[in-house]
Every structure is written in structure tokens, then in C-alpha cells.
Structure 1
């Protein structure tokens, strides 16, 4: 009798069912468990809950009689309902909690992880060879490029440089509201989406489950077919213009030239290899410039892969890191995505995007939402949980290194060389979000003081001793000595409290 195979809700692509030495037989029966307790434990963004349930139910419908789709309170109960005590295989789950669960069940054989480029043992060997403490993404990225022959010409990087960041940090064009690029792929909802929305309504009415944010229409792929169409549209129509303005922000154009493929990758609907290979093909055929292609390849083969590997390499205790001693709880206006309560135009715009779509691109995440939390000393674990819950592409493995390490510098520099935060000048240079705002990016004090400018200097002052020894921050810290209004600035920062900026 063929052993059944269990698919988690982020293992929905064909590469989780293909035969191989480490995988299930191609005709193995499949079990998918929809555990309601997942939504009871955390208050997720409703658009995220909708996307995940839609993707799971679409996958079960595709598999037909081969799949047993079980709706239960917990994974343990659902698996027992489907199989009793019969054995089952599952590919390595994507969180520490899920891995503990499957290992506790006794009847489950855990197969190697799929959906990533580098096997975990290979990364461990690489990381141990680099001392294991201060691991740099750039070194890892070049290692992956060489090992997978991505954007390589023999032993040299294609285009003559490993890193094209210099060409990919342009501010937005002057006097434009949107970039002149074709819109991204958008899926069409169907009867399964209607059923999901009906169930979410019913769960909320029951009172034991609640969500945050708005839901509908579904903006992101829920099937392999939709995800493949989204990848194809990006590569053919949007990739060429991706690079130059990938770090820029426009109020009326939150998507710009970004791929919007992160949720499809993280649901397992796309494999990272096919994404980077199609991008490279676009460059080699002359359809996209090297800087745009390298920037996209870096996001997937460099950053996404790096984050996945660090999640397991650093271990579950990494989530408790708090090198800066930040303990302030998240205020209600932030938890509730209450953009209407916020005066600062950049933060209100970004919070509204999260509320309405469950997504923003990486710069609003890092340099607006994350930077504001860092400046105010919010509890990094609570910040991580918020990102996990409120973003359609957010999972524990995604947000633990991205928030604890990159965004909140809570690991003290194990992952990055400096805290990523700035004053209003950076936001003004890289966006149109300061135009028409009640605050002024150049002002630190007074009624028009930019919350990011005030917050930046208050953050440097609070952690002056630690940051003065950081070669990338020491010059900024010395700038505190030139501020004649420092005491007034610090008092303004204290007066802000939990009030929305």
C-alpha cells in the first residue's frame, strides 16, 4: 500500500509531489488539513486568511479524488481523521512549531525541504566555514550564484559586476504619480473564493475568530496556473523597468514595477529556480537590462534564500533576541491598521496599503513601518508577530530573520552591519510622500517636526554608546554633538508617547 503524503498550506506546488529519492510516489494519496485553530491563535489579516484557504481548497480541487481535504480544529485531529495511525510522509515544514508537531506524531516521516535552492546541510557547511557568527548576505549570494551558475559567464558574473545596486537606487521620476509600466497580473475570483469568504464571515460571527484588515477582491494567485501567469507577465512586461526604482515609493503607485510573486513563492506555487531562470533568459535574449535582472535574482536567490537558511541555522531561540532592550508594546492604532488616525502622510499611506491589501513592497516595510517601530523602541517580537499576521506573504521563517535581524536590529548585528533607520530626508529623497504632508522632513522640533527625523535622532541618542562603536554608524552618532536643539528634540520624542504621528 502506498504511503499517503501530507501537504501543508504552503506546500502547494507540483514540486512537493514529484517523485524522487526523497519524495513521495507520484500517485500517493494526499492529505490536506485545514486547521481552524491556526486562525484562533493569531489575529491574521483577513486577505491573508482568504488567500491561504483559497489556495489550499483550489489545490484539493485540482487533485480530485486523490486528495482528502479535512476541516478540523487542529492538525493532529485532522490527520487522525484522515489516516488514523497509518504512516504518512511530509516535506520539511517551514516553521519550528510545525516541525515540532510533525516529529511528535510518531507516524510521520519528514522528508527534506523543497521549494528552495540550497539544501540545509550545504548551507550549514558554508556558514560554519565562515565562522557562524557574522554571516553576510553578499558572500552567500555570490556562493549561490556560482553554485547554481546563475547570471554567470564562465567564472565571472554576467555583466561584469556581482552587484548592480548602484543602478537600482534611483528616486522616483520627478512630477509623476505612477510609473509608466503595464499593471501586474490580477486573478479572477471563483466559486471557491466565494465559499472562503462565506466561511470567514461565519467564523467572525461566531465570535471566537477575528481578523484585521480588509478582504477582497483577491489580489494574489491561489493556483499554480495563476502563479505561472503572474510570473510570465512580470518577466515579459515589468522586469525590464524593475531595477532602477526598486527602492523608490510613490503614493498613488504602491506596486510600481515589483513582481508581487512573494506570496506565490511562499505558498509553494512557484519554485525559485524557475523565477530566476526566466529572468536570466530575459536578459540573455535582450528583453531586460542586467541591473533589473540582477536586482530580481538578488531578491530571490540572495535574500529570500538567505532568510530561509538563517531561520534554521540560528534556531528557535533567535526569536527572543533583544539586544537593544526594546520593550514598548505596539499601540492600538498600529495593531488595528488605523491609517485614518495617522497624520504623517508616508506612514498613513503605507498603513492604508497594508489594511486594504495585506502587502507593501520592501522599502515601506523596512524604512517606514520597521524604521518607525525601531525608533520608538517597540518590542521586536511583537513587531515580528504583527508583520507575520498582517502580510499575505508573511510566515514565521520569513519574518523572524527579516524583522528580528534586519528591521529591528534585535540580534545586535548577527545578520546586518547596521540598524536600518533614517530621518525624513531619506523618505523625501526616495518618494513623493512628503509632498503635502503636515510635517517637514528637515524639521526636528516644533509643530511641523517630522516624526522620522525626530525619532531618528532620539534613537541615536538612546543607543549612543552601542552605536558609536559601529563603523557604519559612528559618523551619524557624532552628529548628535552638532544638534543645539537636542534636549527639545528628546522632549518632543517623549511627548509623542503612543499617539499616532
Structure 2
């Protein structure tokens, strides 16, 4: 059916399921490029490029159906356009409040349910009910049942819901890369050239380097990236999804978080493509299940809990962490005298605006957790420094999963670890100046020393948790604990060692 009212799309609502479905063909589409939005925060330079490139590519694709305005603010653009508009549910609390004001003023005629997620907000509210804890596994299983994904009748295929245990291999030894087919790469065009020139002229307070566009920004590109991943990389994804290789930043990851979070792909489209690969015998179940859990499980879970918990969730700080983020951390200075894994991760983030989930959780997040960085500030930094970071993406990932600042609403324990975990799951430690086995001395690993400092600081809370009580007992048996704590209180990060470990 044709809708007579024009449709206003935000920069993360760019796929055909927003503007051109069999049920709704929006003849007039408005896109507004707001200069104020671009400079409100220190976004990664490549993130701004991706969003603006995606918006401009969509305008070119729609041709006469679109009106593209470059204005100071969204309101300026709407006033210039001069017609009431329809909008889809926006993706942040701030944008929702703004849209509600526009709705009250008659500038917005109606707010349509977003097609960006498989589960509606209404259905999630029914699932959440009166729960006071929200475990991913329960939600994920319900998603599988509801959408009949990897199911054999009422039971999961092969009788197993979760194949995580098969997807925890460390990086292969004596290899610098995983050796899989490279990801699908887009080709820049004249639109990308214009975006780059405009961003240069605006002189915005960005972080990170400019660089070649690495992610899909059109629906056609996103479909190509999805098909390439499913055909050539999905089979190798699961086994090493938690491993980190310093010379192979993409490994077998899909790189679909950007097009998914810009609204270019429908989640069930992605899930069905992965499931079909398993049914066709082209990818093992462990890889397919692990990938589907990321898309149909975690991504949907994070979105819905963002709305369920509300904006006050950002103020949760159950571990009383108030340390400001250091400048070298927020400005992505990988040259600072820090452990090789942290230095490399910051350098990768500076270069591309993206690292996969283990460097996010177990290197960046783990380091911040150990040192008591303010979780709200950390969430804001993650949302701006990552090219796939949007307001809804990071609160549950950082406040809940990474920093345990919600006191256990979503995770049963803090995700803190010492250098032993990083030594096993990354290839960084062999060339690092710090020794993952040492917690004391100038060459002590900051993650190992920091871990015991963290356990000591929160010993009363951790002792009451059956998943962490053993670590508290181990801490009490450390003969050099007082020295470790003194060392940690004097250096964050520690000074460079005088010898190479």
C-alpha cells in the first residue's frame, strides 16, 4: 500500500525494510544530515563517514523519492521541509524524547514499530514480566522457539541449545593468521569522496584515524557481505570466535555489526542464511549456532534491555567505580607504556574503529574493571569510539556485561581475569614486556596484578558469589598480596619494565 505521508529516516534506518516493503512503499523519504549531531561527541572519524555515506547512498538510490537536507539541526531540516512526517521508533532515549515532542507538536504524525529487530518491544515486555534477573540463555532459547530457528519440532536440533564449549579454542600455534578467506570489502566511490571532503572541512572533534571504508553502507553491499561470510567464512567462525590474533584483526568474524546496526539487514534474514548453510552441510552446527546466538540472542537482548531498564540504567554503579578514563585510553594512544594486548587493541581501534568482542570485553573492559573506571563514562566512550556503537548498543554490554555495574542483573559474575587467560586466548603475551605469570615487580603483567587488586577491593561481595568465592580464597593465600596492592596503588598503568620478559 502507498502511504501518502512522507517518511523521515534517521541514519541508522537505511534498509529497504524501512522504506520499500511489499506492505509499505513510502513515496517520499526525508533524510536530514545534522551538523550538530556530528559534533555533539568525539565520534570515531570512520563512524561518521559510514553513517553519512550510508545516508547519501540511500538518497542516490531512491532518486526523486528522496529529499536530502544538510542543516544545523534536525528541527531546522523539518522546518525547511515543511510537511508532517512519519517516523520509525528511534534507537535512543534522547531521540525518542525528541520524537515525542515532535509528535505533540504535530510535526510527526505517527511513530511506526521498528523492523530492525525480530522481536517487538511489546512482545519483549510480555516475556520480561516481573523478572528481576535477565539471563541471556533463557531469552535466547525463547527466541529460537518463537522464530523456529535451529529447531526440530519442540527441541533444538541435535538436542543441544548451546555449543559454546566447542567455540573456545585458543589461537592456532605457529600461525600468524587464521588462514581463512578474507572478508568481503566494499569499494569507495564518489559519494565516499564527498563525505571525506565534507568531514575534513567541518574539522570535528573526532577520535581515530580516517581510513578506507571497510564496512557495507548500502543494502546491496550488506547482502554481498552477508553472502560472502556465509559462503566462505562462517564454517571457521565458531571454533576460534573467542581467540585473538595480533596479525589477523578480522579472523573469521562476519563484520556485519555495522550494516545490522545501520538498519541495512533484517536480523532474521541474517539468521536464516546462516541456518541454511548448516542445513546444506556447508558449515558446522557449532559455528552456526554461535553466530545465531550473537544475532538472534545477544543483539536482540541488548536492544530490549536498553528500553526495559530505561535511561537510569546508565547511572548504575554497584561497584562504586569512579576513576576518570585516562587521556591515553580515550584518545586511543597505543604508544603509551602498557601491555602489548592493550596497546595493540587501542591501536586497532584507532586504525579501524572496530575490534571483535573479546578485545572489547577481556582487554579493554577487563582493564577498566580492574582499575575502577567510571562505567557511565566508559559506556559513552564505547558508544562513540566504535563504528558499530550506537546509544542502545553499549549500556548492557558495558554497564552490565563488562563492568558488572548493575550488580548482577544480567551476568552472574564480573568478567575479570588475570594475564593467564590472555596468555591462553591471545598471541600477544609472547612479545610483551610484561610477564603474564608475574604479579609483582617492574615486569609484572598489569592484568595479573590488577586482577588481584580487583578481587581484594571487592572481596566481601565476591566471597558471597559461588562463582567467585574460590578466587577470594586464593587471594588470601598470596604471600605477597600486600606488595601487589601497594604496587597497584602507585602505578596505573605500571612503568615500563627495565628488562624484557
1:101-250 equivalences in 2 (<5 Å): 101-105=98-102, 106=105, 107-108=107-108, 109-128=110-129, 131-204=130-203, 209-250=204-245
1:21-420 equivalences in 2 (<5 Å): 25-82=24-81, 84=82, 86-105=83-102, 106=105, 107-108=107-108, 109-128=110-129, 131-204=130-203, 209-420=204-415
Asked if 1 retains the 8 angstrom alpha-carbon contact of 2:117 and 2:267, the reply is yes
Asked if 2 retains the 8 angstrom alpha-carbon contact of 1:333 and 1:500, the reply is no
Secondary structure of 1:466's partner?
helix
Asked if 1 retains the 8 angstrom alpha-carbon contact of 2:176 and 2:246, the reply is yes
In structure 2, distance between residues paired with 1:27 and 1:45: 32
Partner residue, 1:485: 480
Residue segments in structure 2 that go unaligned for 5+ positions in a row: 497-501
Asked if 1 retains the 8 angstrom alpha-carbon contact of 2:446 and 2:494, the reply is no
1:300-320 CA distances to partner (integer Å, 9 max, x unpaired)? Answer: 000001000100111111111
The runs of at least 4 aligned residues of structure 1 exceeding 4 Å deviation read 498-501
Partner residue, 2:458: 463
In structure 2, distance between residues paired with 1:336 and 1:118: 37
Deviation for aligned residue 1:498:
6.0
Asked if 1 retains the 8 angstrom alpha-carbon contact of 2:442 and 2:494, the reply is no
1:459-492 CA distances to partner (integer Å, 9 max, x unpaired)? Answer: 1111111111111111111111111111110111
Deviation for aligned residue 1:159:
2.3
Asked if 1 retains the 8 angstrom alpha-carbon contact of 2:145 and 2:151, the reply is yes
Task: State the superposition RMSD in angstroms.
Answer: 1.2
Secondary structure of 1:69's partner?
strand
In structure 1, distance between residues paired with 2:38 and 2:484: 42
**Alignment CA distance shift 1:499-1:48 (3 Å):** farther
Partner residue, 1:17: 19
Asked if 1 retains the 8 angstrom alpha-carbon contact of 2:45 and 2:208, the reply is yes
Deviation for aligned residue 1:28:
2.7
Secondary structure of 1:89's partner?
strand
In structure 2, distance between residues paired with 1:499 and 1:36: 41
Deviation for aligned residue 1:335:
1.2
In structure 2, distance between residues paired with 1:364 and 1:196: 30
1:422-443 CA distances to partner (integer Å, 9 max, x unpaired)? Answer: 0000000111110111011110
Deviation for aligned residue 1:93:
0.3
In structure 2, distance between residues paired with 1:42 and 1:500: 31
Secondary structure of 2:484's partner?
helix
TM-score, normalised on structure 2? 0.96
Deviation for aligned residue 1:347:
0.5
Deviation for aligned residue 1:499:
6.5
1:168-219 CA distances to partner (integer Å, 9 max, x unpaired)? Answer: 0011111110011000011110001110110111011xxxx22111111111
Residue segments in structure 1 that go unaligned for 5+ positions in a row: none
In structure 2, distance between residues paired with 1:222 and 1:26: 21
Partner residue, 2:499: none
Deviation for aligned residue 1:132:
2.2
In structure 2, distance between residues paired with 1:449 and 1:67: 59
Secondary structure of 2:172's partner?
coil
In structure 2, distance between residues paired with 1:462 and 1:223: 48
In structure 2, distance between residues paired with 1:184 and 1:477: 43
1:441 aligns with 2:443: no
Deviation for aligned residue 1:78:
1.0
**Alignment CA distance shift 1:455-1:498 (3 Å):** closer
Deviation for aligned residue 1:41:
1.1
In structure 1, distance between residues paired with 2:26 and 2:40: 34
Deviation for aligned residue 1:73:
1.0
Secondary structure of 2:335's partner?
helix
**Equivalent pairs, count:** 490
Secondary structure of 1:435's partner?
helix
In structure 1, distance between residues paired with 2:359 and 2:21: 41
Secondary structure of 1:68's partner?
strand
In structure 1, distance between residues paired with 2:133 and 2:15: 34
TM-score, normalised on structure 1? 0.96
Secondary structure of 1:489's partner?
helix
Asked if 2 retains the 8 angstrom alpha-carbon contact of 1:92 and 1:114, the reply is no
Secondary structure of 1:201's partner?
helix
Asked if 2 retains the 8 angstrom alpha-carbon contact of 1:187 and 1:221, the reply is yes
In structure 2, distance between residues paired with 1:44 and 1:243: 31
